[in-house]
Homo-oligomer: A and B are copies of this chain.
Amino acid sequence: MAGNSFGGLFRLTTWGESHGPAIGCVVDGCPPRIPLSASDIQHWLDRRRPGQSRFTTQRNEPDTVEILSGVFEGETTGTPIGLAIQNVDQRSKDYGDIKDQFRPGHADYTYWVKYGIRDYRGGGRASARETAMRVAAGAIARKVLEALIGPAVTIRGALVQLGPHAIDRSRWDWAAVEENPFNCPDRQAVQAWATYLDGVRKQGSSAGALIEVVASGIPAGLGEPIYDKLDGDIARALMTINAVKGVEIGDGFAAASIPGDIAHDEMRMAGDQVRFLSNHAGGILGGISSGQDIVARFVVKATSSLPNPRRSVNQRGEEVDIRTTGRHDPCVGIRAVPVGEAMLAIVLADHLLRQRAQCGLS
């Protein structure tokens, strides 16, 4: 109820500012006796880590996670898991000149109006640095899903559009995602994207992006109608990621134009299993998982920290022109891929526990 927690039974609470001493989180409700080590978490954090190519910020944060509680002799104990990452490359001086100014497209102005005070250094609490903790908690959520459902569960994501350039879905290859700096599943799109993003950066601009996340191997039955529908929680989970402006499931916004006679997934039997003949629904019907792949997409707007001057105002109500000189991602969507995956994993772990509670998933 106080804003910095997500989830019901599998519950994440994060804390920390971009330039404070550390960031961290508490994961409460994790079932006991699940093998967990810091390296299990670090693996996913490293995917989100900046500074790995010229297309992400050069801020150099090793982002080494520590497990402070809730794990004993290599297994979870059912008690809250405290995690922390020390902040080691803060460079507060980068931000001094904009301390009383509001960057267009940032939360600077709204935090100021709401709270009357703000930690202006690096965006403070509004920094995307907070998403490191989502990735860490998502790593634990993956472990929960694997332990309770089985190793066949996968939660993957990819960038499917960079600026105006979309992939060709017929060339989708999950293996490609790991091979390029964009998390792009279409190998042939990579070169054009690199050229485009280099151009954008040279002009002092930035690019938006579209990300798709997919969960496979999730059983039917997860999701609690009416207001805790699985898709409702996914929408909230993804929309709260920094810079996200929209979320869709399955056909998503295309559904406006698809007539009813082809919009719905027909069913047949495959042995004793129900088989859907298509997946317009994105794996969710009536807010409950159907057993098909769960498919969600979210859009990330272009980075708002830009080197060219922008018209703005400051805390004293004076008009100013503002430039942001720190190190920033030209396309924050790239590093949002593991964050989207993590949020999907967290939602699914939470709903899996809820399903066990009420319906005793068998």
Interface membership of A51, Cβ < 8 A: no
The 8 A CB mask of A115-130 against B (1 = contact, 0 = none) is 1111100001110001
> 7 nearest interchain CB pairs?
A107-B286, A105-B264, A206-B260, A246-B248, A3-B224, A2-B29, A260-B302
- Chosen A-B contacts, 28 in total, with CB atoms closer than 8 Å, are A1-B8, A1-B9, A3-B28, A4-B227, A5-B227, A13-B28, A13-B80, A15-B79, A17-B69, A21-B69, A23-B69, A32-B117, A33-B117, A77-B115, A79-B225, A109-B274, A110-B288, A111-B286, A161-B256, A205-B259, A229-B240, A246-B246, A247-B247, A255-B299, A260-B303, A261-B308, A264-B306, A280-B301
Interface range for A: 35 or more
Q: Are A274 and B313 in contact (CB under 8 A)?
A: yes
Asked, given contacts A24-B82, A28-B5, A210-B256, whether A232 binds B225 with beta carbons under 8 Å apart, the answer is no
Q: Are A117 and B263 in contact (CB under 8 A)?
A: no
Determine which of B229, B250, B310 lies in contact with A264 in the assembled complex, contact meaning CB atoms within 8 Å.
B310
Interchain nearest-CB distance for A230 vs B (Å): 9
Residues of B within 8 A of A231 (CB): 239-240, 244-245
Interface membership of A78, Cβ < 8 A: yes
Q: Are B118 and A72 in contact (CB under 8 A)?
A: yes
Interface membership of A151, Cβ < 8 A: no
Determine which of B75, B164, B267 lies in contact with A117 in the assembled complex, contact meaning CB atoms within 8 Å.
B75
Q: Are B240 and A227 in contact (CB under 8 A)?
A: yes
The 8 A CB mask of A126-150 against B (1 = contact, 0 = none) is 1000100000000000000000000
Q: Are B255 and A110 in contact (CB under 8 A)?
A: no
Residues of B within 8 A of A105 (CB): 260, 263-265, 280-281, 285
Q: Are B257 and A78 in contact (CB under 8 A)?
A: no
Q: Are A125 and B207 in contact (CB under 8 A)?
A: no
Interface membership of A304, Cβ < 8 A: yes
Q: Are A9 and B358 in contact (CB under 8 A)?
A: yes
Q: Are B312 and A266 in contact (CB under 8 A)?
A: yes
Q: Are A299 and B253 in contact (CB under 8 A)?
A: yes
Interchain nearest-CB distance for A344 vs B (Å): 14
Determine which of B77, B114, B360 lies in contact with A220 in the assembled complex, contact meaning CB atoms within 8 Å.
B114
The 8 A CB mask of A280-319 against B (1 = contact, 0 = none) is 1110111111110000000111111010101111000111
State the copy count for this chain: 4
The 8 A CB mask of A28-68 against B (1 = contact, 0 = none) is 11011100000000000000000000000000000000101
Chain B: CB-nearest residue to A356: B357
Interchain nearest-CB distance for A135 vs B (Å): 14
Residues of B within 8 A of A357 (CB): 9, 29, 353-354, 356-357
Interface membership of A226, Cβ < 8 A: yes
Interface membership of A180, Cβ < 8 A: no
Interface membership of A348, Cβ < 8 A: no
Q: Are B227 and A288 in contact (CB under 8 A)?
A: no
Q: Are B236 and A232 in contact (CB under 8 A)?
A: yes
